[in-house]
Chain A
């Protein structure tokens, strides 16, 4: 299969991963859901489980309203809705890494109202990157491993964990190459396709995704770079549950040259050190990787990093794509926008998404107006 066909399949999966996920079990996989990029997937992977990411779905809420108020983000609401509707019965369980207040409470609500065999919790510090929180995080990773072991009734051996770490590190290297290639070889694989290829990995075993990325990279690297007239942009936010934003930007002749998303660049940032004990190494990676806005900014200011990313990628505008009611992200917006404007003269647009009332038309209009301002039309 050539690169375009593979990328096309990934895009289809991004549009609707659920039919694919429902088949995983028949293929001998044991899928366990996770929601957050702070989940130590390596531990689940080493245990023979397949971590799969839930990023919500465009749907009308029917069941979750009895458990979650309307002022809570649509990721939590639509994921819970699917679980309660029995549409996620292929899952063996779910893992809740605590980032925001919504996820913190969703864990209990989920556990009380569903009957999946496994339920995992990982409590995270908010003071990431500071010496004081590292021993706590190492202990939490250790406790999480034990939680999985207790569920399975057997140990996860260190060598299996080391092997999983190796697989995931390779995946991060490949993802990094995939992202760099967008800049180095413009026109070969655009932002939409590159992101689709990355995101598709959330729904398959990591070895398989490595093969897929490897094949894409081989084809892409053999391809000829072309000129692109498209307007370069950076997308920042949490997750893009659907490819709509990227598709619309492509239609409007804009190109996403980099991102600051937890289903994008923030997901594969930093490697697990393979020369130290696996638990400590996993904790260290979570602790030092680029911060999610739900964590306190300390090692590196989030704004500094975003500004650098914008500068390096040559983006001429930033689209903040946020979930409505997402406090960690919404709090940072005025500060980030000011700094982008004042220091780089880069304009930005804030778009809020609610999957239960998703309107592609509205999104298109706002994007069009924003792009026209940048182009000076």
Chain B
């Protein structure tokens, strides 16, 4: 074996050592889930389309299959197939300025296009506006398109602490949600079953939080780009045993990596925080770029949105109502800044990269102020890049990559002067 072949062999081994093994288990889990959901179409199983931030636990408790158009949208984006789906919706009069998840989903509903031939037809819809107010307009359209019932779980925006009348409103809607499910499925509400599902959901979200926390270690065992992929089960199927099992396995792997000092990058020079939804169609290129720059995205505001805080209450419906109302995108800028600051300190980051996302106003408007606040509080720089989560027509690769390079090079200059 020549020296070069030897080096290649070593690189390969090293790469294999750094590869996250649980990725395969996740792919199996998600493939099985999608196959089951698709197979259920046309049977007497109920299929509900639900928004990513919506309370899925009642659906699981009632034996309904939850389907997430946003998760599907991310998949279509990563497969570079969302633009053509968006164009279908645009040809029907939907503006290019609307969220590309929504446009792509409407296009996919019409054509059954995308990597898995479209999502199974819903028997009803559940929409929760804790992530944005685009979702209920989108779901109104889906409700008209499929001619199926729509349940809206309306979570009023929280400025400061959660006021009691907000909680009362959300609590009443949880009850209404349960009645709605009883009516649709013809089954009775079983509180013991609901509590069991809710407990699993909280447990899995706790495991997920621990997985993410492993990145506090240097070198970080994964990047947030891995987390974007590995979050699919917690978003889609929390409340099931499979998800608990999967995150237990993932946590074990991450802890082993930490113990053995296995980082995801060959060398980790900088640690960065990511803000906003990923640029799904650009994950591979951006991942490569950050790796080349020896910058590891160790934490982000997106995946940690599914790490619910436990709420102390005797009443499981009220606990769920509180959890779902106080999510990251449904709070004011000061509370968001607190969260960003806390992530920055816990993960000891050198800076923050913010994705100003055309498709997501609640996530993006206010970022300029948050960036300034971040620097004021932590003394670290922030970079804002312009993109769209799945519509690549708005993306200028050369410009974004150039800005990221400059940003990281400046970090080097700063660490030299420091």
Check A125–B154 contact: CB distance below 8 A. yes
Q: A105-B365, A143-B163 are in contact. Are A334 and B93 (CB under 8 A)?
A: yes
Q: Considering the chains assembled together, what is the distance between the CA atoms of A327 and B133 in angstroms?
A: 9
Stretch at the interface among B295-303, B339-347, B356-364: B356-364
Min CB–CB distance A116 → chain B (angstroms): 17
Q: Considering the chains assembled together, what is the distance between the CA atoms of A123 and B332 in angstroms?
A: 12
Check B154–A135 contact: CB distance below 8 A. no
Check B168–A331 contact: CB distance below 8 A. no
User: Which residues does chain B contribute within 8 Å of A66, judged by CB atoms?
Assistant: 368
User: Which residues does chain A contribute within 8 Å of B129, judged by CB atoms?
Assistant: 126
User: Which residues does chain B contribute within 8 Å of A333, judged by CB atoms?
Assistant: 93-95
Min CB–CB distance B235 → chain A (angstroms): 21
Check B159–A330 contact: CB distance below 8 A. no
User: Which residues does chain B contribute within 8 Å of A180, judged by CB atoms?
Assistant: none
Which residue of B93, B154, B166, B365 is within 8 Å of A109 (Cβ)? B365
Which residue of B138, B166, B362 is within 8 Å of A105 (Cβ)? B362
B334 at the interface (CB under 8 A from A): yes
User: Please, which residue of chain A has its CB at the minimum distance from the CB of B368?
Assistant: A67
User: Which residues does chain B contribute within 8 Å of A368, judged by CB atoms?
Assistant: none
Q: Considering the chains assembled together, what is the distance between the CA atoms of A145 and B334 in angstroms?
A: 24
A139 at the interface (CB under 8 A from B): yes
B312 at the interface (CB under 8 A from A): no
Q: Classify chain B's interface size.
A: 35 or more
Which residue of B132, B140, B173, B364 is within 8 Å of A331 (Cβ)? B140
Docked complex: A59-107 residues within 8 A CB-CB of B:
66-69, 71-72, 98, 100-102, 104-107
B137 at the interface (CB under 8 A from A): yes
User: Which residues does chain B contribute within 8 Å of A102, judged by CB atoms?
Assistant: 361, 365
User: Which residues does chain B contribute within 8 Å of A125, judged by CB atoms?
Assistant: 154, 156, 169
User: Which residues does chain B contribute within 8 Å of A124, judged by CB atoms?
Assistant: 156
Which residue of A121, A136, A328 is within 8 Å of B159 (Cβ)? A121
| Count, chain A residues at interface, CB 8 A | 46
User: Which residues does chain A contribute within 8 Å of B256, judged by CB atoms?
Assistant: none
Among A101, A113, A139, A324, max chain B CB count under 10 A is at: A101
User: Which residues does chain A contribute within 8 Å of B141, judged by CB atoms?
Assistant: 331, 335
Check A136–B169 contact: CB distance below 8 A. yes
Docked complex: B197-228 residues within 8 A CB-CB of A:
none
Docked complex: B280-337 residues within 8 A CB-CB of A:
332-334
User: Please, which residue of chain B has its CB at the minimum distance from the CB of A332?
Assistant: B137
B16 at the interface (CB under 8 A from A): no
Min CB–CB distance B225 → chain A (angstroms): 24
Among A140, A294, A327, A335, max chain B CB count under 10 A is at: A327
Number of A-B residue pairs at CB separation under 8 A: 125
User: Please, which residue of chain A has its CB at the minimum distance from the CB of B160?
Assistant: A121
Among A124, A296, A324, max chain B CB count under 10 A is at: A296
Which residue of A67, A106, A294 is within 8 Å of B133 (Cβ)? A294
Which residue of B134, B154, B157 is within 8 Å of A133 (Cβ)? B154
Please encode chain A, from 310 to 348, with 1 for each CB lying within 8 Å of some chain B CB and 0 for all others: 000000000000001101101111110100000000000
User: Which residues does chain A contribute within 8 Å of B365, judged by CB atoms?
Assistant: 68-69, 72, 101-102, 105-106, 109
Check B358–A327 contact: CB distance below 8 A. no
A127 at the interface (CB under 8 A from B): yes
Check B94–A330 contact: CB distance below 8 A. yes
Docked complex: B107-155 residues within 8 A CB-CB of A:
129, 132-134, 136-138, 140-141, 144, 152, 154
Check B144–A335 contact: CB distance below 8 A. yes
User: Which residues does chain B contribute within 8 Å of A207, judged by CB atoms?
Assistant: none
Q: Considering the chains assembled together, what is the distance between the CA atoms of A132 and B172 in angstroms?
A: 7
Question: Interface residues, chain A, CB within 8 Å of chain B?
Answer: 66-69, 71-72, 98, 100-102, 104-109, 112-113, 121, 123-127, 132-133, 135-136, 139-140, 143, 293-294, 296-297, 324-325, 327-328, 330-335, 337
Q: A71-B361, A100-B361, A136-B169 are in contact. List 5 more A-B contacts (CB 8 A).
A: A100-B133, A104-B362, A107-B159, A136-B166, A294-B133
